[in-house]
Amino acid sequence: MTTEQVAAPINAWQVAQRQFDLAAEMLNLDPGLRRVLREPRRELTVHFPVHMDDGNVQVFTGFRVQHNLGRGPAKGGIRYHQDVTLDEVKALAMWMTWKCAVVGIPYGGGKGGVIVDPKKLSKKELEGLSRRFFTEISVLIGPERDIPAPDVNTTPQIMAWFMDTYSMHQGYTVPGVVTGKPISLGGSEGRNEATARGCVFTVVKAAAHLGIDLKSATVAVQGYGNAGSIAAQLMAAEGSTVVAVSDSTGGIRNMAGLDPDKVLAWKKEHGTVQGFPGAEDISNAELLETPCDVLIPAAYENQITARNAMDIKARIVAEAANGPTTPEADEILYQRGVFMIPDILCNAGGVTVSYFEWVQDLNRDHWTEKEVNAKLKVIMDQAFAEVLAQSQKHGVNMRTGAYLNAVQRVADATAMRGLYP
């Protein structure tokens, strides 16, 4: 048995709180305010029945957490995964609060999840589960209260079922209750690519800051789902060479370069990137340690830890995933001169275009993809510059710089509003 297998699992909620504590300490936050921001505002756990195709009734467990509502309604995705825990959802909700604040959009943080492996459900079972779960959490949901979105294993189709379920209860169509919907139901142009596009905007800025020419740069991407595969395509469009990619089954590497489009076609056909012609199969651990200029973790939490941080060879780590780096690893990477673009900045393109979608829905408007991408670039570029300035001013890494900006904004809003009653 390897140390990898016996090491205690890392608790995402403890990581999120530690990241907050660090910023709160540096900002010298009022102790009472610190206690308020350190915990979620609301946690809802639901157990709900679903009719299965074989006639049985199964009971599933789901969560919706609202971390902070000081700056606006809660915003955050819903994930379907067999390993979802309440602590994970709490961490993701807190990260959403900071993420929205970093890019300056008027939302608080929320997150949801259902403990289920959706790959084991038929389409009918998936629809039944989605509609029943959304009904159960609808006591918290609304276009002015809490606006969910897609996350791991949830899709525009599932968002359509959510929106329809809520609308049926209201008696009229409410497109603004969720984002990440199909275009035909009030979804935004460019939403599907937004997380990856925002990530690449920040990589371009980081490369310029460090004097790295992206046309001769190499890239490794962990996670070849929506964010990872599109990030690979966009980095290739910048002129970079994608040398390694992976998914949940493992990875592939070819230091001479991989064609992201062909790899995606292979994955769609075979259900894995492994076995791709002309590439060697590698593990996810090997992917992270691949020699490259830019490493994009676009999979799950806690991938870069104290155990492998010394072996990361990238010059830039761009966190397209939420929480892929632990605090210990952060410190090691910073000491080694690795430039980290933290998740709450790097992958905020998704929630930013979700915000655009919500604004369009509330106004019954529709923007072109060109307009959406141009607005996204302005917001991501400005947020990157603000975080970099904070990091340089205080001599801290980019994550702490991002937290200093985000926590200060949320703390100011919370303090200004005061305690009710």
Cβ–Cβ under 8 Å, residues 403 and 396: no
How is residue 238 written in tokens? 């910048």
Q: Give strand pairing partners of 108.
A: 74
Given 75, 99, 111, 267, which residue is catalytic?
A: 111
Q: Give strand pairing partners of 49.
A: 59
Q: How many CB atoms lie within 10 A of CB 67?
A: 30
Helix 398-417 × helix 12-27 angle, to 10°? 80
Helix (H, G, I), strand (E, B) or coil at 302: coil
Angle (CA) 69 326 10, round 5° = 90
Provide the Cα torsion 20, 25, 26, 30; round to 10°.
100
DSSP conformation letters of 234-296:
HHHHTTPEEEEEEETTEEEE-TT---HHHHHHHHHHHSSSTT-TTSEEE-HHHHHTS--SEEE
Q: Which of 418, 416, 414, 420 is nearest to 109 (CA)?
A: 414
Tokens 């809802």 belong to residue: 44
Query: Among this protein's residues, is 111 annotated catalytic?
Result: yes
How is residue 248 written in tokens? 């949940």
Amino acid at the residue 231: A
Amino acid at the residue 114: V
DSSP conformation letters of 50-61:
EE-TTS-EEEEE
Cβ–Cβ under 8 Å, residues 280 and 255: no
Angle (CA) 57 81 115, round 5° = 40
Taking the C-alpha atoms of residue 209 and residue 113, their distance in angstroms, rounded to an integer, is 37
Cβ–Cβ under 8 Å, residues 125 and 56: no
Taking the C-alpha atoms of residue 111 and residue 89, their distance in angstroms, rounded to an integer, is 6
**H or E element: which one contains 354?**
helix 349-362
DSSP conformation letters of 24-55:
HHHHT--HHHHHHHHS-SEEEEEEEEEE-TTS
Catalytic residues: 111
